[in-house]
């Protein structure tokens, strides 16, 4: 009774407010409009109990006509779930923006399909994860750019919220992971280059700072590359490389100091066009090198002079991580490690 009165008053008051922000429609407004109780409205929305067709119809019409959308905060307070997934993406430089962006796209797209929104966390540290989880801002977390021995892993383990890593840490691996199979990519590149008859192969990898950070993927790529060289009986070497026009210098120096090297595999977004161009130029027309890249497909297409490339299925990685997370969230699926396989992409070479 008291409630009813209050609501009527506020309803009337709002109807006459001029110019102010539009009245925020609540579930109570919908219930009045439809002539039912608020619990019925709630159940129509959640589908958690049977509703007669007529009632449902009336409620849905009321929701429509009032333009009602439930208050997310109230909902999360009452239901203890937010329908939001937290995403920690590296926004610093030195990472491959293309790849990050595509992963984010994959995460956002799939999340939306599962009915989740994405909260983009501002910092890359453990604290941001705790804030989001303990503050009940999110139901679960996707964490990108995981390093070999990442402190965030322990934080996540004791958080009480499900999470998926994008990246493959060393060690106990107690959390679900999705990553690209960099090791397999190393093998694949070697197979391809050696198959073309090249006997001395060079991997031009991440910038020194990334190498030193012991970013798991750089190590795994090198490991796969070198192991495959050994297995194929060819000679392989690995070089760090800056991510800008200085890549050209590094590439020239490599060609100079190792003139027999004829197969190149570049994994370095920023340095890619420079290094590729420099290698081709330095060896001259008579000794054309084979240059492959590891990067998203569109970047490969945008780079002149590549033989072909191995695509990083970045969007698929984001999608896979999110799908896994949603499966855990809704069906209590068992967390696993998932490595997406490399795929050779042939490039329509520009003459």
Partner DNA sequence: CTGAAAGCGCTAACAG
Partner DNA sequence: CTGTTAGCGCTTTCAG
Write out the residues near DNA by the rule CB under 7 A: 2, 6, 10, 24, 26-28, 35-40, 42-43, 45-46, 48-52, 54-56, 68, 70-71, 74-75, 77-79
Counting runs of H as helices and runs of E as strands, what totals does the chain give?
15, 12
Distance from C-alpha of 50 to C-alpha of 76, rounded to nearest angstrom: 23
Residue showing tokens 């119809």: 57
Residue showing tokens 């995981």: 146
Distance from C-alpha of 301 to C-alpha of 311, rounded to nearest angstrom: 11
Helix 53-66 and helix 27-34, axial crossing angle in degrees, nearest 10:
130
Considering the complex, what minimum distance in angstroms separates the CB of residue 228 from its own copies? 29
The number of C-alpha atoms within 13 Å of 240 and in the hemisphere containing its C-beta is 13
Q: Where are the alpha helices (DSSP H) in the chain?
A: 2-15, 27-34, 38-46, 53-66, 72-79, 97-113, 126-134, 151-157, 182-195, 208-212, 216-232, 246-257, 272-283, 297-301, 314-331
- Judged by beta carbon distances under 5 to 8 A according to partner kind, the member of its own copies, DNA, none in contact with residue 46 is DNA
- Judged by beta carbon distances under 5 to 8 A according to partner kind, the member of DNA, its own copies, none in contact with residue 254 is none
- Judged by beta carbon distances under 5 to 8 A according to partner kind, the member of its own copies, DNA, none in contact with residue 117 is its own copies
Contact 193, 290 (CB under 8 A): yes
Residue from 27, 111, 295, 326 binding its own copies (CB under 8 A): 111
Instruction: Establish if 123 lies at the interface with its own copies (CB under 8 A).
Output: yes
- Judged by beta carbon distances under 5 to 8 A according to partner kind, the member of its own copies, DNA, none in contact with residue 345 is none
- Judged by beta carbon distances under 5 to 8 A according to partner kind, the member of DNA, its own copies, none in contact with residue 268 is none
Stretch that binds its own copies, among 153-161, 204-212, 253-261, 322-330 (CB under 8 A): 153-161
* Pairing relationship of beta strands 290-295 and 308-311 according to DSSP bridges: parallel
Which structure tokens are listed for 280?
């081709």
Binding to its own copies (CB under 8 A): which residues in 209-268? 243-245, 248
Q: Which is nearer to DNA, 44 or 175 (CB)?
A: 44
Considering the complex, what minimum distance in angstroms separates the CB of residue 302 from its own copies? 5
The number of C-alpha atoms within 13 Å of 207 and in the hemisphere containing its C-beta is 16
Distance from C-alpha of 39 to C-alpha of 241, rounded to nearest angstrom: 62
Q: Which is nearer to its own copies, 149 or 244 (CB)?
A: 244
Distance from C-alpha of 320 to C-alpha of 166, rounded to nearest angstrom: 10
Residue from 298, 330, 337, 341 binding its own copies (CB under 8 A): 298
Residue from 42, 262, 303, 322 binding its own copies (CB under 8 A): 303
Instruction: Establish if 171 lies at the interface with its own copies (CB under 8 A).
Output: no
Adjacent-strand bridge partners of 200:
235
Considering the complex, what minimum distance in angstroms separates the CB of residue 111 from DNA? 19
**Helix, strand, or coil (residue 12):** helix
Instruction: Establish if 101 lies at the interface with its own copies (CB under 8 A).
Output: yes
Binding to its own copies (CB under 8 A): which residues in 47-76? 67-76
Q: Which residues bind its own copies (CB under 8 A)?
A: 21-22, 24-25, 67-77, 82, 84, 87, 91, 93, 97-98, 100-101, 104-105, 108-109, 111-112, 117-123, 130-132, 134-137, 158, 160-161, 243-245, 248, 270-271, 273-274, 277, 298, 301-304, 348, 350
């Amino acid at each position: 009774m008291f409630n009813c009165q209050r609501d009527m008053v506020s309803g009337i008051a709002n109807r006459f407010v001029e110019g102010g922000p539009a009245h925020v429609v609540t579930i109570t407004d919908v219930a009045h409009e439809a002539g039912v109780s608020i619990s019925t409205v709630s159940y129509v929305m959640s589908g958690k109990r049977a509703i007669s067709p007529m009632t449902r119809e009336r409620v849905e019409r009321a929701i429509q006509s009032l333009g009602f959308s439930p208050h997310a905060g109230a909902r999360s307070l009452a239901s203890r779930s937010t329908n939001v997934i937290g995403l920690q993406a590296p926004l610093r430089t030195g990472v491959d923006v293309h790849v990050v962006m595509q992963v984010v796209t994959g995460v956002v797209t799939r999340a939306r399909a599962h009915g989740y929104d994405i909260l983009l966390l501002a910092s890359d540290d453990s604290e941001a994860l705790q804030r989001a989880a303990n503050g009940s801002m999110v139901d679960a977390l996707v964490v990108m750019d995981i390093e070999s021995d990442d402190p965030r892993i322990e934080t996540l383990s004791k958080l009480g919220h499900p999470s998926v890593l994008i990246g493959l840490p060393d060690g106990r691996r107690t959390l679900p992971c999705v990553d690209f199979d960099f090791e397999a990519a190393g093998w694949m590149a070697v197979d391809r280059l050696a198959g073309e008859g090249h006997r001395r192969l060079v991997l031009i990898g991440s910038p020194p700072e990334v190498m030193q950070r012991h970013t798991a993927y750089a190590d795994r790529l090198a490991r796969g590359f070198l192991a495959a060289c050994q297995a194929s009986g060819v000679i392989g070497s690995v070089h760090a490389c800056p991510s800008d026009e200085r890549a050209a210098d590094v590439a020239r120096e490599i060609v100079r100091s190792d003139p027999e090297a004829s197969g190149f595999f570049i994994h370095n977004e920023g340095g890619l066009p420079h290094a590729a161009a420099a290698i081709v130029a330095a060896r001259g027309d008579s000794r054309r090198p084979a240059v492959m890249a590891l990067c998203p497909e569109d970047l490969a297409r945008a780079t002149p002079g590549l033989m072909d490339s191995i695509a990083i299925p970045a969007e698929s990685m984001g999608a896979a991580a999110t799908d896994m997370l949603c499966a855990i969230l809704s069906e209590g699926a068992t967390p696993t490690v998932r490595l997406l396989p490399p795929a050779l992409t042939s490039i329509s070479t520009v003459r």
